Amino acid sequence: MQSVAESLDRLGTLAKTPTVDRLARAFAAAGYELSLVGGPVRDALLGRDVHDLDFTTDARPDDILGVVRPIADAVWDIGRAFGTIGARFGDDTVEITTYRSDSYDGATRKPEVQFGDTLDGDLLRRDFTVNALALRVPEVRLVDPSGGVEDLLARRITTPSSPEVSFGDDPLRMMRAARFAAQLGFVVDEETREAMADMAGRIGIVSAERVRDELTKLLQADDPRPGVELLVDSGLADHVLPEVPALRLEVDEHHHHKDVYQHSLTVLDQAIGYEKERHPGTPPDLVLRIAALLHDIGKPATRRFEPGGAVSFYHHDVVGAKLAKKRLTALRFDKATIDSVARLIELHLRFFGYSDAHWTDSAVRRYVRDAGGELERLHMLTRADVTTRNRRKADRLGFAYDDLEQRIAELKAQEELDAVRPDLDGEQVMRLLGLKPGREVGQALAFLLELRLDEGPLGEEEATRRLLAWWESR
């Protein structure tokens, strides 16, 4: 955290930005309180960039609309029943919410919406002390009823009320604790961790979509590992992503294998490193990160103890791809994400055959074809999957993958490998063989594609000759 003077300067600067200043003056003129609240205040104090502008006020929703409509570029009231009005001022999108003092029935995480009358009361019902901060405007006064600044200085995550009450009100806050541990690099205090462990089963009342959204934000953090570890250690992962804690396979003195859970976390770390190295400044690659975390989830189901103390995990790539697809579907991820993650997991072992025996051009073409649009991610995942401490082995695998990528680049230049297709299309096949659309046309195209993969481009004349000869041989 910055020095106190620097932090106060940041708050003063934030309060004077055009959008904040305009809203502050308008609400004051109408006789209402207005405060920036939560994330923007926390981030300003930490010296982080402020992106969202969230406000709270004693004005009721209709009164908020009355103040905002004349001065905003656009206004929407989709959250009006919950006291929230959205508005746009130039490039800034803001949300303004009436003070809340909600109550919960304990059966769901949906509160009975009740508007409050005080800023302190609103802040004390929030998730964590570091988010229970407000900046009163236009007077620029920091309001901190629960010691949030002290927790910021200590880099600590805890709740304004007792964690049992807070998590009982909204169990999703337990996942948020893990997310903030990842995003902020803070440590969750012991009492809060104990409450998470005791109440982990309560996450079951939260919708899959909300769990997915929190998990997504966690994995997109700059360093998601502490958050993942907290999910596992608290028992939350047993309910939302059970395949990850299942990776903690027992290792006995007779059968030795790598700690699959720690290996997977290391692969996640290394995949993020490759992502940042190859695509600096781009948004986090959620597909790559999920695939890295889940790439070995097929191992518990496929573990076999072999004679001599060896352990095998045959076909864990295929089994893992199926398990990942099932879990991500349950979490309501979109089909494109599910398919991409499953494909990466299914293919993540393919390269290791290359490191053992030199591939033909045909094998390289098939590798590219099977990876399709996931080739770049597969490069990063495969490299990240090398976590051996044996430097000679690591170097050998690294050099082998360098060689494979070089060969792919050369073949691409020669053959436009990104779009490997038969030398003849379906219309040409039907015309040459006198066929109508159907299974036989597909078989002919599959034959031509195999030729293309095995031998490279043949040209239309040679492809026609080979097709006719194949057809005649049938």
Q: Does 253 have pLDDT greater than 60?
A: no
SS3 content of the chain, % helix, strand, coil (to 5): 60, 10, 30
Residue 102's pLDDT is 65
Mean pLDDT of 216-221: 98
Task: Enter the DSSP assignment of 187.
Answer: E
Helical axes 172-184 vs 208-219, angle rounded to 10°: 10
Mean pLDDT of 320-349: 97
C-alpha to C-alpha distance for 311 and 345, rounded to whole angstroms: 20
CB 294 within 8 Å of CB 243: yes
Residue 393's pLDDT is 83
Mean pLDDT of 202-231: 97
Q: Does 271 have pLDDT greater than 80?
A: yes
Cβ within 8 Å of residue 335, ≥6 positions away: none
Q: Which two tokens stand for residue 295?
A: 């790439």
Report the Cα 69 to chain-centroid distance in Å: 36
SS3 string, 27-56, reads: HHHCCCCEEEECHHHHHHHHCCCCCCEEEE
| CB atoms closer than 10 angstroms to residue 241 | 23
C-alpha to C-alpha distance for 442 and 384, rounded to whole angstroms: 38
Task: Enter the DSSP assignment of 95.
Answer: E
More confident residue, 439 or 142: 142
Please state, for a pLDDT cut of 70, what percent of the chain lies above it.
Answer: 93
Phi, psi angles (nearest 5°) of residue 446: -65, -40
> Quick one: pLDDT band at residue 398, thresholds 50, 70, 90?
confident
Report the Cα 461 to chain-centroid distance in Å: 49
Per-residue DSSP letters for 117-144?
Answer: S-HHHHHHTSS-GGGS-EEEETTTEEE-
Q: Which of 333, 271, 327 is nearest to 298 (CA)?
A: 327
CB 228 within 8 Å of CB 234: no
Query: Domains of the chain: which residue ranges?
Result: 1-149, 155-241, 242-419, 426-473
pTM: 0.83
Secondary-structure class of domain 155-241 per CATH: mainly alpha
Q: Which two tokens stand for residue 301?
A: 């189901």
**1-149 under CATH 3.40.1190.10, yes or no:** no
Residue 111's pLDDT is 65
CB 118 within 8 Å of CB 35: no
CATH code of the domain occupying 242-419: 1.10.3210
pLDDT tens digits, one per residue of 97-135: 999 876 665 666 566 778 889 999 999 999 999 999 999
Residue 254's pLDDT is 42
Q: Could you tell me the sign of the dihedral formed by the alpha carbons of 330, 333, 335, 336, in that order?
A: negative
C-alpha to C-alpha distance for 399 and 394, rounded to whole angstroms: 9
pLDDT tens digits, one per residue of 150-196: 999 999 999 999 999 999 989 999 999 999 999 999 999 999 999 99
Residue 9's pLDDT is 86
Mean pLDDT of 459-464: 92
Annotate 103-130 with b (16+ C-beta within 10 A) or e (fewer): eeeeeebebeeebbeebeebbbbbbbbb
Altogether, the residues listed in the chain come to a count of: 474
The residues that bridge with 305 in the sheet, in sequence order, are 311
C-alpha to C-alpha distance for 194 and 180, rounded to whole angstroms: 17
More confident residue, 137 or 402: 137
Amino acid at 5: A
> Quick one: pLDDT band at residue 249, thresholds 50, 70, 90?
confident
C-alpha to C-alpha distance for 430 and 444, rounded to whole angstroms: 9
Residue 152's pLDDT is 94
Phi, psi angles (nearest 5°) of residue 416: 55, 60
**Least confident among 318-332, 335-349, 424-438:** 424-438
Mean pLDDT of 307-317: 84
Mean pLDDT of 394-399: 83
Residue 191's pLDDT is 97
Residue 110's pLDDT is 67
